[in-house]
Amino acid sequence: MQKLTILIGCMGIMLSTIVYAAPYATAVDVPDSQFKTLFPDTSKEMAEMMGKWPIVKKEDIPDASSIAAPVYPNALITKLVGPHKVRPGKYKGLATVQMASTDSFEKVQMFYAKELAGWSKQTYSNGKSVYWAKTGLVEVNTKAMKEPQVRVTDLTTVVGGGEWQKKLVPDAQTLIEVYYLPTN
């Protein structure tokens, strides 16, 4: 009986030391009532099967400690993209957390310029798209990325003017993409 009590006590200590990871950022919350607005030509079953619904599965959000770059305050995750599959069991590049912010491009890029001061920086699209790479040169081809990177883009320069992000986050002005190496 004493051995059982000690075992149960040890299990209690072990369980109390389990730390739950904090998600990197908050996901956009899209109610079921908006499904047909977003996917007028698709059934919910088909969208679920294709991995498009829900928009972001909360259990798929990476742990904050696994991403080198800070999250922009109040940005909402609008999409998660895994590394590129090049053949069965073989992946290339980094995974991506896409977020939208209602703050201006200038404000968001100033935040990252300060927070990523030691990272390499490259500007594109007439200054409306900025990339930072943790080490080495900026790589805009996601299949070639090997090191964490961040991209901040004015939604007016995104194909379609950021229409999708604006459907998910009304008044969105800025797209933030954080590239990271998944832990699993």
Give residue-wise pLDDT tens across range 19-73. Answer: 557 999 999 999 999 999 999 999 999 999 998 999 999 999 999 999 999 999 9
Q: How many CB atoms lie within 10 A of CB 61?
A: 18
Q: Is residue 10 part of a domain?
A: no
How far is Cα 29 from Cα 54, in angstroms, rounded to an integer?
Answer: 9
Q: Is residue 117 part of a domain?
A: yes
Q: Is residue 11 part of a domain?
A: no
Q: Is residue 17 part of a domain?
A: no
Q: Is residue 13 part of a domain?
A: no
pTM: 0.85
pLDDT digits (tens, 9 = 90+) for 152-178: 999 999 988 999 999 999 999 999 999
Report the pLDDT value the prediction gives residue 15, as an integer from 0 to 100: 46
- Rounded to an integer, the average pLDDT of 85-109 is 85
Question: What's the burial of 124, exposed, middle or buried (CB within 10 Å: 0-12/13-18/19+)?
Answer: middle
How far is Cα 25 from Cα 70, in angstroms, rounded to an integer?
Answer: 10
Q: Is residue 143 part of a domain?
A: yes
Report the pLDDT value the prediction gives residue 142, as an integer from 0 to 100: 77
Domain count of the chain? Answer: 1
- Enumerate the H helices of the chain as residue ranges: 2-16, 35-38, 44-49, 105-115, 163-168
Q: Is residue 169 part of a domain?
A: yes
Q: Is residue 3 part of a domain?
A: no
Q: Of the spans 63-67, 107-111, 179-183, which averages the highest pLDDT?
A: 107-111
Domain range holding 28? 22-180
